[in-house]
Amino acid sequence: MAAAARRLSAASLPLRHHHLLLRPFASSASGQPPITVETSVPFTAHKIEPPSRLVDTTPSELLTFFRDMSMMRRMEIAADSLYKSKLIRGFCHLYDGQEAVAIGLEAAITKKDAIITAYRDHCIFLARGGSLVESYAELMGRRSGCSKGKGGSMHFYKKDSGFFGGHGIVGAQVPLGCGLAFAQKYTKEGTVSFALYGDGAANQGQLFEALNISALWDLPVILVCENNHYGMGTAEWRAAKSPSYYKRGDYVPGLKVDGMDVLAVKQACKFAKEYALQNGPIILEMDTYRYHGHSMSDPGSTYRTRDEITGVRQERDPIERIRKLILSNELATASELKDIEKEVRKEVDDAIAQAKESPMPDPSELFTNVYVKGFGAEVFGTDRKEVKAVLP
Amino acid sequence: MCHLKNIFHYINIELKGGVFFVVVTKPSPLPLLSLPIFPLAVLDFEIDRKMLGVARRKLGFGLFSATRVLPAGSVLPRKYSTAAKEITVREALNSALDEEMSADPKVFLMGEEVGEYQGAYKISKGLLEKYGPDRVLDTPITEAGFTGIGVGAAYYGLRPVVEFMTFNFSMQAIDHIINSAAKSNYMSAGQISVPIVFRGPNGAAAGVGAQHSQCYAAWYAHVPGLKVLSPYSSEDARGLLKAAIRDPDPVVFLENELLYGESFPVSAEVLDSSFCLPIGKAKIEREGKHVTITAFSKMVGYALQAAEILSKEGIDAEVINLRSIRPLDRATINASVRKTNRLVTVEEGFPQHGVGAEICMSVMEESFEYLDAPVERIAGADVPMPYAANLERMAVPQVDDIVRATKRACYRSVPMAAAA
């Protein structure tokens, strides 16, 4: 034990994260020794007692975190190249840097719980069980896309595993998420909804309207502010008089969480789910960061310095954090982790190749899904004497 | 002449030359069916329409003293009818809501004052008591918030009925109606359907001013993915609201405050809880040979009155109650125009880019060769609704506007003075 402890203190950790405790217990039922990890920083709380900094995890969970986050990272970087080669059009908002939020959230909940987010949705879709092929095909507007090519980057959905999109209007997803929670309470499902939004959306009036109703009606909704500190090109201090988003709920309690620490995210979301089921809404502010600009048309360096970006990458990168945790706990070797990354890369490349083979939607798809029930109404193309159809 | 008494906003009793007259200053929205047939003193139907600087065109106005009583249903003894029971539009809507909530536990109602207040216009009277606060929800005055919550609940699979106290307030929530509700089924390629109903009074009431009087039919009917319905009679109200609640798509249901208190006869079939009207089908309220008049909501009543007046001059008008603004029943409208060869569209809302413009275009595209005259359009005046009663009267279509336009379509009016 002493030797292990010595190894621990010798582990090279980034400057900010000194207090990594490891207390191996007797092996759990799964045969894996559970591991307890301390979060990078304590939770900051508003009107509530914060959860413990000590998070239980297992080796396989940590390795899954590593793999899944690497997958997301790779997916977004590959999407960047596809966009630059004009295979992806329109808007493309990338999530790299923020993976810990998607993964930590997923680890704390089930597929019966609901998630709704805005347009930076590719990785949430993946976390909810969406496939790489469906993602790339949708980004490229092909028929095997998750929305059959008709939605695009901002409109990924996976209703069968509780992912309700993918929304283009900043802030609109928050009342919608409260509505999901309303339905869950109405149907007595014992599940919760997570409504994700950014620091830019945090000032939207409809958010406060929905929060007020949710608090009045005790809806099991968790509002998750993914605070990456920039609403497009506007830094949070320029947009919000009070950028303490976890406090903005006023009468609604909140927690501030290190969004780059996947275990902290998992702990907070687990805590929030239990809270919301009993008491109604709670706000989680995830302190996170996006490496890309707001979207592919934003270099992301006109309103922040390159030093800041590289600084976060060095100090707080979520994947690196897990890598160090795995290595220092000797759960895998460095070359095993590299192999995982290579596998992930190949998976992503294969998915892109497969997605590229998917054809564009049939022209008849222009007129499908306008309604569930069209009653035989006529629908017209641009030249109605040339192109028209009947809605079934 | 002096106004002695204002019975309703559209009826005055006036003393003229020593004789009492019941004068209708704005036509009653009653359908002609409820006209009692018993003698009264001679009545004068006079409209104070002095337009500034524009001489009134005497289009047979001299002939035009419509001697008619148009009282509200409760002023005079109820018309004795052999068959039908009569219910008000309010009762029709209330019973439709009640029955649909009873039939499907996923249906719930939310809006301002729908619960304890029994509904701002008493449409949801008794529902809170019957279904409880989990299914009849009073919301704060936050349209964007509660509409978004309603749409989110519909995403999950519930069947919300969201009430707007008037559709003027729906503008605060219009992003959710259009971007969150109307487009979702399409953007998700069928994964996320939105079985929601947005309902409430639409259009002008009486004297409520510019911000409370707009008609939103054209706005919402513009949007693919929405269905837009507008009932006129109690039968319409029951059948269309039930259809709307059962429908798997987002439906905008445009009622009219002034029609809530109006009674209409309803058959036993209409009163049955399984009664439903088809969406996308117009109703021919009155068959005719010479000219087609299309209208929806309150204007149907006006169009029917105009048709009565015109029939005395030998013009037999066919009145179509649109019922469904989107999908628009182009087939029925065009079939009618092909029969009559003339068309007048009537709507309460602003004229530019309105419902009548779409109907006119549809007829041009499909039935051009059948038209014997240009399509005529009657709409609200192209101004924000004024408050003063005389200006308000000028801003909302009146029966004589419809009569005049129909005569123009039939080339029966005096040719316009060279105004150009």
Q: Does the pLDDT at position A16 exceed 90?
A: no
> Which chain B residues have a beta carbon less than 8 Å from that of A217?
137
A251 burial level (CB within 10 Å; 0-12, 13-18, 19+): exposed
Q: Does B224 touch chain A (CB under 8 A)?
A: yes
> Which chain A residues have a beta carbon less than 8 Å from that of B327?
374-375, 377-378, 391
Partner-chain contact B279 A375, CB within 8 Å: yes
pLDDT tens readout for residues A289-302: 999 999 999 999 99
For testing the chain B interface, which of A185, A207, A222, A375 should be mutated: the one with the most B CBs within 10 Å? A375
A-B contacts at Cβ under 8 angstroms: 162
Domain layout of chain B by residue ranges: 4-71, 86-271, 283-413
Beta bridge partners of A326: none
Partner-chain contact A209 B153, CB within 8 Å: no
Q: What is the mean pLDDT of chain A?
A: 93
Closest residue on chain A to B194 (Cα): A372
Res A31: pLDDT: 57
pLDDT tens readout for residues B26-36: 444 444 444 44
Instruction: Determine the average pLDDT of the residues in B323-350.
Output: 98
> Which chain A residues have a beta carbon less than 8 Å from that of B175?
169, 172
Q: Does B184 touch chain A (CB under 8 A)?
A: yes
Closest residue on chain B to A158 (Cα): B191
Partner-chain contact A151 B155, CB within 8 Å: no
pLDDT tens readout for residues B162-196: 999 999 999 999 999 999 999 999 999 999 999 99
Instruction: Determine the average pLDDT of the residues in A291-318.
Output: 97
Instruction: Determine the average pLDDT of the residues in A118-144.
Output: 98
A334 burial level (CB within 10 Å; 0-12, 13-18, 19+): exposed
Count of other CB atoms within 10 angstroms of residue B347: 28
For testing the chain A interface, which of B110, B156, B175 should be mutated: the one with the most A CBs within 10 Å? B156
Those residues with Cβ within 8 angstroms of residue A156's Cβ, 6 or more apart along the chain or in another chain = A121, A122, A124, A125, A130, A135, A138, A146, A147, A163, A165, A166
Partner-chain contact A210 B145, CB within 8 Å: yes
Res B49: pLDDT: 40
> Which chain A residues have a beta carbon less than 8 Å from that of B185?
369-372
Q: What band does A8 get if pLDDT is binned at 50, 70 and 90?
A: very low
pLDDT tens readout for residues A200-238: 999 999 999 999 999 999 999 999 999 999 999 999 999
Beta bridge partners of B345: B294, B377
Range B212-244 burial, b when 16+ CB lie within 10 A, else e: bbbbbbbbbbebebbbbbbbbbbbbbbbbbbbb
Q: Does B188 touch chain A (CB under 8 A)?
A: yes
Q: What is the 3-state secondary structure (H, E, C) of chain A?
A: CHHHHHHHHHCCCCCCCCCCCCCCCCCCCCCCCCEEEECCCCCEEECCCCCCCEEEECHHHHHHHHHHHHHHHHHHHHHHHHHHCCCCCCCCCCCCCCHHHHHHHHHHCCCCCEEECCCCCHHHHHHCCCCHHHHHHHHCCCCCCCCCCCCCCCCCCEHHHCECCCCCCCCCHHHHHHHHHHHHHHCCCCCCEEEEEECCHHHCHHHHHHHHHHHHHCCCEEEEEEECCEECCEEHHHHCCCCCHHHCCCCCCEEEEECCCHHHHHHHHHHHHHHHHHHCCEEEEEECCCCCCCCCCCCCCCCCCHHHHHHHHHHHCHHHHHHHHHHHCCCCCHHHHHHHHHHHHHHHHHHHHHHHHCCCCCHHHHHCCCCCCCCCEEEECCCCCCCEEEEC
pLDDT tens readout for residues B233-292: 999 999 999 999 999 999 999 999 999 999 999 999 999 999 999 999 999 999 999 999
Res B414: pLDDT: 59
Q: Does B151 touch chain A (CB under 8 A)?
A: yes
Using CB atoms and an 8 Å cut-off, which of residues 334-393 of chain B contact chain A? 365
Higher-confidence position of B304 and B15? B304
Instruction: Determine the average pLDDT of the residues in B379-404.
Output: 98
Closest CA of chain A from B5, distance in Å: 46
Those residues with Cβ within 8 angstroms of residue B267's Cβ, 6 or more apart along the chain or in another chain = B83, B84, B235
> Which chain B residues have a beta carbon less than 8 Å from that of A209?
140, 142, 144-146, 148
**Length of chain A measured in residues:** 392
Q: Does the pLDDT at position B11 exceed 60?
A: no
Chain Cα centroid distance, residue B43: 27
Residue tagged active-site, from B143, B235, B262, B348: B143
Closest CA of chain B from A209, distance in Å: 5
CATH fold of B86-271? Rossmann fold (3.40.50)
**Length of chain B measured in residues:** 420
The 8 Å CB, 24+ separation contacts for B103-106 are: B103/B273, B104/B159, B104/B245, B106/B157, B106/B158, B106/B159
> Which chain B residues have a beta carbon less than 8 Å from that of A376?
280
Closest residue on chain A to B111 (Cα): A213
- 8 Å CB contact between A388 and A380: yes
Residue tagged active-site, from B46, B86, B113, B212: B212
Domains B86-271 and B283-413 share a fold: yes
Partner-chain contact A180 B192, CB within 8 Å: no
Those residues with Cβ within 8 angstroms of residue A385's Cβ, 6 or more apart along the chain or in another chain = B365
Q: Does B330 touch chain A (CB under 8 A)?
A: yes
pLDDT tens readout for residues A233-271: 999 999 999 999 999 999 999 999 999 999 999 999 999
Using CA atoms, how far apart are residues A220 and A273, in angstroms rounded to an integer? 8
Q: Does B249 touch chain A (CB under 8 A)?
A: yes
Q: Does the pLDDT at position B84 exceed 80?
A: no
Please confirm, yes or no, whether B212 is among the known catalytic residues.
yes
Res B74: pLDDT: 39
Output the CA–CA distances (angstroms, integers) from residue A202 to A247, A284, A369, B56, in the order listed: 11, 12, 32, 58
Res B19: pLDDT: 54
Using CB atoms and an 8 Å cut-off, which of residues 34-63 of chain B contact chain A? none
The yes/no answer to whether this complex scores an ipTM above 0.95 is no
Closest residue on chain A to B223 (Cα): A370
For A172, the closest of B148, B153, B154 (CB atoms) is: B148
Coil vs helix vs strand at B304: helix
Q: Does the pLDDT at position B21 exceed 70?
A: no
Residue with tokens 């003193």: B41
Q: What band does B50 get if pLDDT is binned at 50, 70 and 90?
A: very low
Res A33: pLDDT: 81
Q: Does the pLDDT at position B39 exceed 50?
A: no
pLDDT tens readout for residues A351-363: 999 999 999 999 9
Given CATH 3.40.50.920, say whether it is the number of domain B283-413.
yes
pLDDT tens readout for residues A32-74: 789 999 999 999 999 999 999 999 999 999 999 999 999 999 9
Is the bond preceding residue B250 a cis peptide, omega within 30 degrees?
no
Q: What band does B412 get if pLDDT is binned at 50, 70 and 90?
A: confident
Using CA atoms, how far apart are residues A216 and A276, in angstroms rounded to an integer? 13
Closest CA of chain B from A195, distance in Å: 11
